[in-house]
Structure 1
């Protein structure tokens, strides 16, 4: 029988001075316990948020890394040979599955890894099953960088994060059937953690996310909770989590730099009245900036929200002219102030609350 690395390690830590019978007993006990599972599945994702969710679901069975970096615009990743090398031995490839990462098929081709092509067991479309917003009636390049299948920035809603996690878990089961129980357990734990972070533990235990999620996505959750009671206590009083913390944001008007906040703003009740980009992906003209300044002053818009990968010059100019506050936050986790997905949502809400509390 071949001695494994774990067995050899245990043999090496038995003191040399031990009586043979003691050493044998020590070794027997040590080998009676199975070695901890190692990372067996290599997951490569297009976005850091997908990698973060894969780690939550896969635990120690998974090694997950992202092609795009937290401070990088995922629209414009260059398909370099070094990135193709990341995919060469990947077991699972997770991409949005829409038209955000148009560079992804080129990288997969260059990698030579047939297992992760679209339609193969090692391919995961993170957006499968997500209710898409901003689906254009007519797609035209004249309208800028239009996403024909809808807005691809799906991870900005915690409800969508659960769908993404389920898609990743299914992919992990396909490529690593032996870990199915672990992946299902990891998915259940992630869903539960999202639910309690979003609504608070008390409300989740009372109603369940199956009832809460549809109401939240339709924008009727708060009114429903205000109208209903349970055992003499208004359901609204049982609301906690991000939904409770973000209540001061509901109905607030903001300017956004790019159309990457629609799922977040819809869930938490923010109104995006206009964008720094007149057309998605096209830098704003001087005329558009002038019109935007006029709009902010007329409607008393207090906050401009931007991902950190956009240049700060235009938001700074607009803020100087209008007095609105600029909130620049990472769109993806993996930064010092947003180490994981949960910290990312915390950061967005906290920064927006602080900006509005500062006044206009």
Structure 2
């Protein structure tokens, strides 16, 4: 690891004035660019002044240094500093976590987790073939579009009832539904869907900015002879076992299983499912309100990413797809 001091970083915040919302979209698109991983910092910040009392602050961070929780930490700590508060000293740094993770690879627990995942992905690994409008490009181009919709109060309550009756979580209920849908579209029974997991399983990691997220590839057989509740029970078991073995990194799994390296696809799975609880990062500071600025960057890393957010009465979906 190379750890730089703040003085060594060439970091400046650029301020830009614009006259309209349309200009903001253009500036946002120009702002997001690839990073060179050999050059620090892997973060850029820009402030767009739209009106005297309205500004948009843009962060572009390489995923290798941050995750969703990191963005929430950044927003919270920025507003606390703005109020003149002092931040608590961190007990550990990301470099400590990184060293701990490497050491963990020598443990018995790691070997048992590896055994679980290698068994799960033994034999021939399925490739999901969904009917598509266009030919798949030979190399993934990451161009995407998205569709937003919501499940109304009645459907949401129905899903919550199923979850209560079966002792399942909403994640398990929705994943089961997505798998059944993918099975119907593809005519395949062996389905793999990826899901991120926060990976911050120690209290000292709660306030550290960094990439902690791991990906769980959950493989199941959608047997059309099973009732939905029986299939949900099998997904519940799969999800619980995946959580128990969550420290084994997805990259390790990809390196250690027998898959055809295909530049047109993501390794192991082509569909990602993410469920989040509704926590709007709206922060009030004296005379100031911070809230997220929604911008669509038209990037899709997989064939489909299904993002669900559970609100009080409805479930909101953003389905993004490779165009």
Give TM class, smaller chain.
under 0.3
Task: Report the structure, 1 or 2, having the larger helix content.
Answer: 1
TM-score normalized with structure 1 length: 0.25
Larger Rg: 1
Q: Which has the higher contact order (CA 8 A, sep 6+)?
A: 2
Task: Report the structure, 1 or 2, having the larger strand content.
Answer: 2
TM-score normalized with structure 2 length: 0.27
